[in-house]
Structure 1
């Protein structure tokens, strides 16, 4: 039985994710409206920046994954990325009133680059801190919990700074200062106190490995297909949550009262899932959670609009948040197991490449899943400016529950049949141990 990693080590490692998590999803939710209100940027300019940044990700994510694997140490890229993030967030969150498309595009792309330089090597290093099937769940749990804490802190910052609920220029400047200081500081502490594992005897990583890995590691295709379907489903729900709750249920003034318990449920459910994962396979628990998500969505679309909808909607989103907490816990852990499979079968530690593909899938899912989710109500005549027709309500419910449930059915089957279980992973461990044993 491998020695358990101390909680202190896991906290120091995962603490990097607290400021890092404040730079992507929360910022993506707030920055568009902030720039439209306080600068010369228009909605069309924001759409252009979003499109260009996704194309930029498609190039930089795999390249950074290869660099992370080739360098032999993952820490230098993270330190460079932290400095890039510090500079770009200081500029991006503190724009002048006359700032336009060029300013936003320049600093946003630099922020995306810095974030990727930290995120991909940090995720890869998380997979390498322990080769144990169960220990990897603990590493993932601490990293994700601290990341959720960063997201909650970001969203609560206006209230903490006495600005009510508004993300004013003062709030954004304070967030910029916090991230610009906290990210380099937590990374320096991590580099100092958390030893970086060394992988022995691996072949040199080359750019061709970006495509070769799909041929030499077939389980990766199974994993990514399952994650794509799951991400498209949850991406649609995330994109429509505020619209559904405010436009149909009439809870526009209570969004924060629903969103905070939802975020807390994602984080607080993880220790409970971790205990269950001691007895249940990761992929089997994820498979069983799919019908749980479907049941929650079907309950939500049967909630009657009005003030009485607040409590059942809050409870339903707490359950939904706990299911997303499970996915956030097991997906990095399952991909870490694939890193071991690649090392055992192919003699290559391509953790950076594997987590680069996962990062790209997550970003694309957020965009594509959200776009599909938003387009379905539009096909049924939904418009936020007019009264809701019966057809528009039908479109909202199909997009919020019907389309995601349709995607979750194959997720359930694919996740249940995922071949890399605890027993198979133990066999991989024996193979790696034999490869690293010096010949007599």
Structure 2
């Protein structure tokens, strides 16, 4: 079992999350509309390119998770991934005046593949730092809270600097990311112990034992050692037999799509749906993430007392209530939308802090039930599911909005009738708010009465400790 890291070690572990989070606003919110709308690449082409990029990136997650589980340390993966992501950020956030689809595809692919190589081992590393229920929740919250501070910094820099042009914003934030990232990764590599090398019974050894069970019995021939492909297939089969994992993963996918649709459509909704300025957009983004940072420790405290699954459900309910009021907003309704951003931002704090901690608890159950340590693979599938949700968000929303009248270059179809423009705005509202409400209701239904709360996880850890002692 992993030891209990002190507070300084936890802070050192969380430090890289600051740099990793700074490009979140550009990558998930600004870049799709920047390339598709401002730079003239087209909403349909941009949406499809991001969809394909995400699909390719998605399938690298289980590979990285499996390979990082079978190395003595996760540090090389984290460092190499950070380097590749940094190169991708530099070129993607500093595009030429008229970028081609190949330019977007190439550098975005490099960014997201590097991001995978960093993020999957990084998340698994955090889950392995401690097996204590409360401390594990604190580590997850500290990492995600540090990430939210990075996102908050990304939202504050353009406001403080008075930079409203999307291209100038992305360039500035990309440069800040590179500087902060070098420092954060160095701190992680030098001062945080890697628990993987101390774990007993890594995945490969456990799977080999399971697959070769019965070999050497009287009257039987010894079986051949299983191939790497057989080990991966056995590992995946075991994960899908874990019903708690499948249930949580489905809820995570649906809620991720519910969050991804408003994220990719946010600049378009602010510009066309509300007719607000870029400066207003920057303030709303800053408000959204500032409230998430403030609310996160409250969600963690409530989750530790009443159970993380039920508190996550109530946070999603709060977001549902807020989104219901989006269709009644009018042009220029900054205050009304600011209230909605504040409530959904608070819910975001729960979305970021609670599900990864629930996932770490499910990892304990997987280890206990199937006798294999598959933390990296499990978190890879977790990350893979999140990317699928984001891929679907961009791949569905942008082509639909392009088809109904949101034209390249930032203007709605001038030749269309008023009715056609109202139709386009109506579709934008449906995608931005109504569809997420339906999806979040589904996610709440899946997670309600989730049977792995605080009491169950503590009992599970005691049994694991006895088994490994």
Q: TM-score w.r.t. structure 1 length?
A: 0.87
Matched with 1:81 is: 81
Number of aligned residue pairs: give it: 432
CA deviations on 1:155-195 (whole Å, 9 max, x unpaired) are 444455x46212456x6555444433432331221122111
Matched, 1:207 2:232: yes
Greater RCO (CA < 8 Å, at least 6 residues apart): 2
Matched, 1:408 2:450: no
Per-residue deviation at 1:335? 0.7
Matched with 2:226 is: none
Query: Per the alignment, do residues 12 and 209 of structure 1 end up closer, same or farther by CA in structure 2, a change over 3 Å counting?
Result: farther
Matched with 2:165 is: 166
Query: Per the alignment, do residues 35 and 300 of structure 1 end up closer, same or farther by CA in structure 2, a change over 3 Å counting?
Result: closer
Q: Is the 8 A contact 2:90 2:174 kept in 1?
A: yes
Matched with 1:366 is: 390
The counterpart of 2:317, out of the listed 287, 291, 294, is 291
5 Å-filtered alignment, 1:323-362, equals: 323-362=347-386
The counterpart of 1:194, out of the listed 192, 195, 199, is 192
Structure 2: 5+ residue stretches without partners: 208-230
Query: Per the alignment, do residues 87 and 137 of structure 1 end up closer, same or farther by CA in structure 2, a change over 3 Å counting?
Result: same
Cα RMSD (Å) of the superposition?
A: 3.1
Q: Is the 8 A contact 2:367 2:373 kept in 1?
A: yes
Matched with 1:431 is: 463
Larger mean CA deviation between 336-345 and 29-38 belongs to 29-38
Q: TM-score w.r.t. structure 2 length?
A: 0.82
Per-residue deviation at 1:395? 3.8
Q: Distance in 2 between matches of 1:296 and 1:98?
A: 38
Per-residue deviation at 1:357? 1.2
Matched with 1:8 is: 8
Matched with 1:241 is: 266
Q: Distance in 1 between matches of 2:353 and 2:149?
A: 14
Q: Tell me, what secondary structure is at the counterpart of 1:15?
A: helix
The counterpart of 2:327, out of the listed 289, 301, 305, is 301
Q: Distance in 2 between matches of 1:103 and 1:97?
A: 12
Q: Distance in 2 between matches of 1:37 and 1:398?
A: 20
Q: Distance in 2 between matches of 1:338 and 1:220?
A: 6
Q: Is the 8 A contact 2:23 2:173 kept in 1?
A: no
Matched, 1:274 2:274: no
Q: Distance in 1 between matches of 2:273 and 2:87?
A: 41
The counterpart of 1:231, out of the listed 240, 256, 259, is 256
Per-residue deviation at 1:66? 0.5
Q: Is the 8 A contact 1:15 1:146 kept in 2?
A: yes
